[in-house]
C-alpha cells in the first residue's frame, strides 16, 4: 500500500532543498551551534574546576561530579538557546507561506484543487517546520557530546526533544494563522513575531494583574502560573532537573516550584499544585496549535477575490 504524501509538502520541500542557499544556511547554523557549544564548554569546565593541594603542591582538577554538573549545565543552556532560536527563526520561515502565495497570485489556483483548506495549511506548516526540525536534529551530535561529559540521561533528552517539537509546532501554527489572515508577507511576519512575543513575554502580564484583582500578596502562585503554560520557555523549564546554574533551572526553581511550595495556599491551589506543570504546558501548546490551524483553515475555506 502506497502512502499518500501531501502535494503541498512535497513541492515545498523539493523547492527548498534544491535552493543553492540551503546548504549554506545549514552549514552556518551548525557552525554557530558548534561555536556556542565550544564557548559554553570552556566556561562551564572552568567553573567546575577546584583547587586541590597535596603536600604543598596545589593544582586544579575537575572531578566526576564537576564533569557531570558541567554536562548538565551545558545541555540545559543549549536547550535555552534552541528555544530562543525557534522563536526567532520559525516565524520568518512560516509567516510568508500563504501570504506569499497570495502576493504571487498563485493561492486561488491552489484553493481550486482537490486539496481541502486544512490540507493546504498542514502542507505549508509541515514544509516550514520540516526544515527547522532538520536543523535541530542536525545539532543532535553536538548535544550528544554531553553524554560523554555526563550528567544527562536518555529520558531527559527525549522529554526535551518532545517539548521542543511541541513548542515549534505552536509557533509554526501561530505564524501560519497570521499568514492566512493577512494579505502581505511583511504584515504576517510582523504579526507572527508579535504573537510569539506575547506568548514568550506577555504571558507574565496576567501574573501581575491577577494578584491586584484578587488581592494576593504575591504574583507567584499556582493559579497565576497557569498563564505561563503556553510560554515556550516555561514549558521547556518544566521538564529540566538538577541543581545547576542555568536559565531554565533558575526559572523552574524561582517561579514554578516556588509557586507550588509557598505556604498559605488554599485547598484548590494545593490540588492545582499537585498536577505537574508540564502537563498544563502540553495541553496549552496543543490547544493553541489546534486553534491556530483551525482559524487558518477557516480563512482559506473559499477562494477570495484578489484586490
CA 194 distance to own-chain centroid: 16
What's the pLDDT band for 289 if we cut at 50, 70, 90? very high
Grade residue 182 by pLDDT with cuts at 50, 70 and 90.
Answer: confident
Top pLDDT among 55 and 129 is at 129
DSSP label at residue 246: -
Interval 184-204 mean pLDDT: 90
Query: In Å, how far from its chain's centre is CA 175?
Result: 13
pLDDT computed for residue 63 by the predictor? 46
CA 77 to chain centre: 14
Rounded to two decimals, the pTM is 0.81
3-state secondary structure of 33: helix
Can you read off the three cell numbers belonging to residue 204? 507574565
Average pLDDT over residues 109-137: 80
pLDDT, position 198: 92
Do the beta carbons of residue 165 and residue 133 sit within 8 Å? Answer: yes
pLDDT greater at residue 256 or residue 199 = 199
pLDDT band at 307 (very low <50, low <70, confident <90, very high): very low
pLDDT exceeds 50 at position 3:
no
Place of cell 518532545: 162
Report the share of the chain in percent with pLDDT over 90: 12
**Number of C-beta neighbours around residue 287 at 10 A:** 13
Count the Cβ atoms, other than its own, within 10 Å of residue 192. 25
Instruction: Pick 194 or 65 by higher pLDDT.
Output: 194
Tell me what pLDDT residue 89 has: 85
Domain ranges for the chain = 70-299
What was the pLDDT predicted at 302? 57
What mean pLDDT comes out for the span 93-115? Answer: 80
Distance CA 233, CA 276 (A): 16
Section 62-75 average pLDDT: 61
pLDDT, tens digit, for every residue of 135-153? 777 777 776 676 666 667 7
Q: What is the dihedral of CA 56, 57, 58, 60, to 10 degrees?
A: -150
Of 94-98, 246-250, 302-306, which range is least confident? 302-306
Say whether pLDDT at 220 is over 50.
yes
**Which has more confidence, 148 or 217?**
148
Q: Is 56 left (phi over 0), alpha (psi -120 to 50) or beta?
A: left
Query: What is the per-residue pLDDT for 205?
Result: 80
Average pLDDT over residues 151-177: 86
Q: What is the mean pLDDT of residues 235-251?
A: 76
Q: How far is CA 138 from the centre of its chain?
A: 16
125/264 Cα distance (integer angstroms) = 45
Report the pLDDT value the prediction gives residue 167, as an integer from 0 to 100. Answer: 92
Predicted pLDDT of residue 219: 62
Angle (CA) 75-144-67 rounded to 5° is: 55
How many Å apart are CA 160 and CA 168, to the nearest integer?
Answer: 12
Give per-residue pLDDT as tens, 11-60.
777 777 777 777 787 787 778 778 877 777 777 666 655 545 555 554 44
Amino acid at each position: 500500500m502506497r502512502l499518500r504524501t501531501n502535494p503541498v509538502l512535497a513541492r515545498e520541500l523539493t523547492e527548498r532543498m534544491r535552493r543553492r542557499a540551503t546548504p549554506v544556511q545549514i552549514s552556518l547554523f551548525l557552525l554557530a551551534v558548534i561555536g556556542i557549544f565550544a564557548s559554553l564548554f570552556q566556561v562551564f569546565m572552568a567553573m567546575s574546576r577546584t583547587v586541590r593541594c597535596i603536600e604543598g603542591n596545589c593544582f586544579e582538577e575537575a572531578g566526576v561530579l564537576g564533569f557531570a554538573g558541567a554536562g548538565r549545565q551545558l545541555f540545559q543552556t543549549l536547550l535555552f538557546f534552541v528555544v530562543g532560536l525557534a522563536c526567532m527563526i520559525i516565524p520568518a520561515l512560516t509567516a510568508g507561506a500563504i501570504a506569499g502565495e497570495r502576493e504571487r497570485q498563485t493561492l486561488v489556483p491552489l484553493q481550486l484543487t482537490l486539496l481541502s483548506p486544512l490540507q493546504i495549511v498542514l502542507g505549508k506548516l509541515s514544509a516550514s517546520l520540516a526544515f527547522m526540525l532538520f536543523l535541530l536534529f542536525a545539532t543532535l551530535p553536538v548535544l550528544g557530546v554531553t553524554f560523554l561529559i555526563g550528567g544527562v540521561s536518555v529520558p531527559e533528552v527525549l522529554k526535551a526533544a518532545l517539548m521542543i517539537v511541541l513548542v515549534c509546532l505552536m509557533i509554526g501554527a501561530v505564524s501560519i494563522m497570521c499568514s492566512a489572515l493577512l494579505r502581505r508577507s511583511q504584515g504576517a511576519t510582523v504579526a507572527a513575531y508579535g504573537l510569539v512575543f506575547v506568548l514568550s513575554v506577555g504571558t507574565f502580564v496576567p501574573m501581575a494583574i491577577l494578584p491586584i484583582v484578587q488581592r494576593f500578596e504575591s504574583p507567584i502562585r499556582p493559579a497565576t502560573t497557569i498563564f505561563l503554560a503556553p510560554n515556550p520557555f516555561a514549558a521547556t523549564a518544566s521538564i529540566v532537573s538538577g541543581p545547576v546554574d542555568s536559565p531554565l533551572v533558575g526559572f523552574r526553581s524561582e517561579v514554578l516550584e516556588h509557586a507550588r511550595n509557598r505556604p498559605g495556599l488554599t485547598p484548590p491551589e494545593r490540588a492545582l499544585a499537585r498536577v505537574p506543570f508540564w502537563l498544563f504546558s502540553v495541553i496549552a501548546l496543543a490547544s493553541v496549535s489546534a486553534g491556530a490551524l483551525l482559524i487558518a483553515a477557516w480563512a482559506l475555506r473559499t477562494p477570495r477575490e484578489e484586490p
